[in-house]
Amino acid sequence: MNLAFTNSHARCLPDSVAAFDALPEEALVNLQTIMALSCRSKSSIYRDIAASRRARPIHIGPKSARWRVGDVREYLTGNAE
């Protein structure tokens, strides 16, 4: 985990956030990474999915979902369909 400082408060961010720009388009990231990158809550992210503003997750287990880095980048830049 990397330590990031925001408004003089320390919070832990996943390593995938620090290395997000270097990840390949087909890499998978979890919900916590998306929440940290977009500054949005879990509820807001799932609301975006329901409204087709964000790609649906890939389920890798019964209670585990991941998103493609390419889809997350499109969403963050405003190019998501």
pLDDT at 18: 78
pLDDT at 57: 95
Tokens describing residue 66: 């991941």
pLDDT tens digits for range 14-66: 676 778 888 999 999 999 999 999 999 999 999 999 999 889 999 999 989 99
More confident: 78 or 27 = 27
Domain ranges of the chain: 15-77
Q: CA 42 to CA 18: how far, in whole Å?
A: 20
Pairing verdict, β 28-29 and 9-13: unpaired
pLDDT at 20: 87
